[in-house]
A = this chain, B = another copy of it.
Amino acid sequence: MTKPRASVTIRDVARRAGVSVATVSRYINKTGPVSKAVGERLDAVMEELHYVPHAAARKLATHKTFTIGLLLSDIGGDFFAPLLRGIEDVLASHGYDLLIASTRKPRRWHGKSLPVGPHNTDGILGFADSLDEDHLRRLMAQHFPLVLIHRTPPPDLPIPCVTIENKAAAHAMTSHLIEQHRRRRIVFLQGPPGEEDSHWREIGYRRALADHGIPFDPGLVMRGDFDRDVAFATIEAALRQGIAFDAVFAGDDESAEGVLAALHVHGIAVPEEIAVVGFDDQRMSPYLTPPLTTVRAPTEMVGRHAAQRLIELIRDGTTELMTLLPTQLVIRRSCGCPDRGGDDS
């Protein structure tokens, strides 16, 4: 076994193959003509030496990193797996690496410097409220490729974003509860303060109430934080306080799970006494008791589109500003509809 040199470089390959480094580089990057014979020699030598180009050196010379950064406000939640999956898949298929960074307690980054940026990536994907407006403006001023996920940019900043149709779906869901199931006192469970998805879902909910002549009762809008525990506690409290309601539109499926549990503990029948619906259609949702009626959010697709937008932005310098992915109602048992005998996924 030969003494394991720190690493084998392009020069080692060139020397061993009896050519210049330029030729090796050209061959590797297909950036110029190389005779077939030499090409084969190189393949053999590279294989023999286990040569792998040093990424940093290449990046330095090229000024392209072929890696993109993903900024998260917090890893956790069943939400991230499909999103990540979508992102990683399309990035990989285009030869890009994925650098991940997440905040802890505070939902956003504070100081001046972001963990990813022009110094180590070709572009960044910003999830929800992980970036504050200052960052957005600075990045734009530097003309650094950036696309937002589940968040729209400030009106004056032309930053591409990909998110989902929340309002229409929330409107449809609320209307379903009102029209099909005669519910009139529908609780709405909000997401974290300032969360954009939650905001639009609430708008849709309110609009549906108005469209059906049902007066809006602020007392029926409660905290859910997109969190099982918080939703559980909120519903328990509402029950104890004797607040009257005949349905709950949970901000997302995770909080719907908390709602279901709280009602179950109190011996309240779902959907007979109180109907419950969610938003997201996570993998667990068909398996809840009763199976959850919800809105399907194409989370993996959001990831795929976001990655695609960013790659276009990097390559072409431009891409669509707004990608709004459609959502659709998924009717199961928890709203009061009869069992349809199978799942529709």
Chain A residues within CB distance 8 Å of chain B:
1, 4, 6-7, 47, 50, 52-57, 59-60, 63, 65, 67, 75-78, 80-82, 84-85, 88-89, 92, 97-102, 104, 112-113, 115, 117-120, 138, 141-143, 228, 232, 254, 257-258, 260-261, 264, 283-284, 286-289
Contact = CB atoms under 8 A, between A and B. Distances in A.
Per CB-CB distance, the 6 closest pairs between chain A and chain B, nearest first, are: A56-B59, A55-B120, A289-B289, A75-B85, A261-B287, A56-B56
A181 to B, nearest CB: 21
Given A56-B56, A60-B56, A118-B7, A100 B98 contact: yes
30 contacts: A1-B141, A7-B118, A7-B119, A50-B112, A52-B117, A54-B60, A56-B57, A67-B99, A75-B88, A76-B85, A80-B81, A80-B84, A81-B81, A84-B100, A88-B102, A92-B101, A97-B115, A98-B100, A98-B101, A99-B99, A100-B100, A228-B287, A232-B287, A254-B284, A257-B284, A261-B286, A261-B287, A261-B289, A284-B284, A289-B289
Contact of A99 (B98, B115, B141, B254): B98
A89 B104 contact: yes
Contacts of A141: 1, 4
Given A78-B78, A287-B228, A287-B257, A142 B4 contact: yes
Contacts of A75: 81, 84-85, 88
Contacts of A92: 101-102, 115
A60 B63 contact: no
A232 B261 CA distance: 21
Given A50-B138, A75-B88, 7 more contacts: A7-B118, A52-B118, A88-B102, A89-B104, A92-B101, A100-B100, A260-B289
A4 B80 CA distance: 35
Contact of A88 (B56, B85, B100): B100
A101 B112 contact: no
Contact of A53 (B67, B80, B112, B119): B119
- Taking the full assembly, how many copies of this chain does it contain? 2
A128 to B, nearest CB: 15
Nearest to A121: B55
Nearest to A303: B75
A216 to B, nearest CB: 30
A310 to B, nearest CB: 16
Contacts of A112: 47, 50
Nearest to A47: B112
Contact of A56 (B6, B65, B283): B65
A104 B300 CA distance: 14
Contacts of A60: 54, 56-57, 60
